[in-house]
Amino acid sequence: MIKANAQITELCESWWSEMADAARPGQHRFAGQLLRMLGWEQPLPFSPKEGAARMNAQPYLLRAGGQTSVAAYFLLPGALESPGAIVDRGLDFCKATRVLVSESQSLSVQYLLATDFYRSYLYDTQTEDLLLYADTPKAFNDELVPVLSKAGMERGALEEVRRPPRTEVAGKLREWADYWIGQLCHAGGINEERAAKAVDRLWTIRYLLAHNIFRRAKWNLGERFHALCERAASHRPEGVGREFAKLCNDIGMEWNIAVFQRDHDLDDAIANDVITAGMLTEFGLLSGNRFSIATMLESFNSGDPTEKMRVRMVPDVNEERERFLSRQSLSTIDDARIEIDLLEEGYRAIFFWFDRVVSLYDRLNVHFEEQQEVEEETGNDLFGWSERDASRPEACGDARAYACERGLGVYYANPRQLRIARLMLTLHLIDKYYQLGRPVNRIPSIDATLMPRPRVLSAGKVIGLEAHR
């Protein structure tokens, strides 16, 4: 194996020494030699898609035992940025690997190797995890050869590669966010609270793209946002800052999402093309695995120990609230309200009690429908459809909207808690509407849900039970 590693190193270094003669036939020959050294005597070449073809990539399919498959792309020397530098910047992709992974996600392959015979990246194509990388042929030998050799793949070496834990992924997301928040504060002359809102908007857009609940004709968020990111990464990003501000304001107007409410000072700050173009370019080089609700919440696990605790707190059983909910009926549910205190209960309480309230609304709605069926069968249905529907409790209509507007209250004690609560509730709402499987016109307002915490809470508020009067 030592001899094979030496031959691989020599091959890669000789390819780079022949950069002046970097023609496609030579590229194909070197790729074939390298694969044979890894035990792949008959790799399957396949036609590259548009982006890979523009990079003159030579792709091969490596399949071990019919189970594990790797799309291996061989590029010309210098086509890939240093993966070490990419990781140091808190990113998951360079521009080339972003294109290759995106194009490979429709190929039904689990892994992707991108190498220019010197720098190499290995990805899980579905999770977009950067599993291994190498800045030199020696690092390629040490890190990638054991898992990419045919013998290694057949014994399941790829499946044994360590996946980054959520805490690590969240930490990188936090570092990336903190960097750009600092840039916006410095260059835009705004405070941290406003700058953080720009990052939250990006995270929300990313979540919306993965959970498409808005399906309006002539309003394609994905097309607009991706076109904006492409312009940001181009050599002429002029005007991209104001276009991003306009996109955010349009989202706020169209879909009523709280974090997109117009903020003129923030608009002026992100009008800085240098800052916004850089931020959007790097945002496109972050993997999708960073943008689950759990990972985004975990990214706030820093700073003050008590705030870190609130990120991790698991909601306790609250017998008073459970009894309160169990006593609700069709005649009382519209006035029932639960209020939670982030200071004491943490952020996960938002998800837990929102779902409990919505579940109650849904159960009561089923009860209401059953009552109507009984009245129809017994001939006691004295009302027409319109009168009967008017008798339905408001909470049993759009349960998620009613929970936001009247059924759930969340007390925050400072701007940081407001920021996290606003973001988490927004993402949770998107997720819940997505699970319904039908398009949504607007996100319900959460203005009545999020409330500043008074110095002293009444006994009812401490328990978390309130009623509208």
Q: Could you state, in order of their start, the residue ranges of all structural domains in the chain?
A: 2-160, 166-294, 305-467
At 12 the pLDDT is 63
Question: Highest-confidence range of 11-25, 255-269, 454-468, by mean pLDDT?
Answer: 255-269
| Cα 265 from chain centre | 26
- List the one residue out of 159, 81, 157 whose CA is nearest residue 120: 81
Residue 467 pLDDT level (bands cut at 50, 70, 90): very low
Q: Quick check: 17 pLDDT over 70?
A: no
Over residues 368-410, the pLDDT tens digits come to 888 877 766 665 555 555 566 668 899 998 999 999 999 999 9
Mean pLDDT of all residues belonging to the chain: 89
Residue 1 pLDDT level (bands cut at 50, 70, 90): very low
Give the list of residues 6+ apart from residue 433 with CB closer than 8 angstroms, or none.
213, 400, 440, 443
At 469 the pLDDT is 35
Distance in angstroms (rounded) separating the CA atoms of residues 158 and 152: 8
At 399 the pLDDT is 94
Q: Which amino acid is at 328?
A: Q
User: b vs e for 276-310, b when ≥16 Cβ sit within 10 Å of the residue's Cβ?
Assistant: bbbbbbbbbbbbbbbbbeebbbbbbbeeeeebeeb
Give me the sheet containing 58-64, strands edge to edge: 44-45, 58-64, 68-74, 111-115, 120-124, 130-134
At 319 the pLDDT is 92
Q: Quick check: 13 pLDDT over 90?
A: no
Residue 96 pLDDT level (bands cut at 50, 70, 90): very high
Q: Quick check: 211 pLDDT over 70?
A: yes
Residue 408 pairs in a beta bridge with 338
Q: Which is more confidently placed, 64 or 102? A: 102
The structure tokens 């035992």 sit at 65
Q: Which amino acid is at 461?
A: K
Fold of 2-160: tt1808, chain A (3.90.1570)
Q: Quick check: 20 pLDDT over 50?
A: no
At 468 the pLDDT is 43
Q: Quick check: 295 pLDDT over 50?
A: yes
Distance in angstroms (rounded) separating the CA atoms of residues 267 and 198: 9
Distance in angstroms (rounded) separating the CA atoms of residues 423 and 291: 12
Give the list of residues 6+ apart from residue 122 with CB closer than 8 angstroms, or none.
111, 112, 113, 130, 131, 132, 133, 144, 147, 148, 161
pTM given for the model = 0.89
At 11 the pLDDT is 63
Q: What integer is the mean pLDDT of 334-342?
A: 95
At 370 the pLDDT is 84
Q: Give the count of alpha carbons within 13 A of 458, CB side only.
A: 6
Over residues 101-147, the pLDDT tens digits come to 999 988 889 999 999 988 999 999 999 999 999 999 999 999 999 99
At 314 the pLDDT is 93
Collapsed DSSP state (helix, strand, coil) of residue 48 = coil
At 262 the pLDDT is 94
Work out the percent of the chain whose per-residue pLDDT is above 70: 88
Distance in angstroms (rounded) separating the CA atoms of residues 390 and 397: 10
- For 125-130, the CB contacts below 8 A with 24+ separation are 125/71, 125/101, 127/163, 127/287, 127/288, 127/289, 128/92, 128/101, 128/287, 128/288, 128/289, 129/92, 129/163, 129/164, 129/287, 129/289, 130/83, 130/87, 130/92, 130/93, 130/287
Residue 19 pLDDT level (bands cut at 50, 70, 90): low
Give the list of residues 6+ apart from residue 466 with CB closer than 8 angstroms, or none.
337, 338, 339, 409, 460
Give the list of residues 6+ apart from residue 61 with CB closer than 8 angstroms, or none.
43, 44, 45, 46, 69, 70, 71, 72, 109
Over residues 253-272, the pLDDT tens digits come to 999 999 999 999 999 999 99
Over residues 146-156, the pLDDT tens digits come to 999 999 999 99
Q: Quick check: 83 pLDDT over 60?
A: yes
Give me the sheet containing 408-412, strands edge to edge: 450-452, 408-412, 336-341, 465-467
Element holding 269 (H helix, E strand)? helix 264-270
**Structure tokens that stand for 123 in this block:** 């990805």
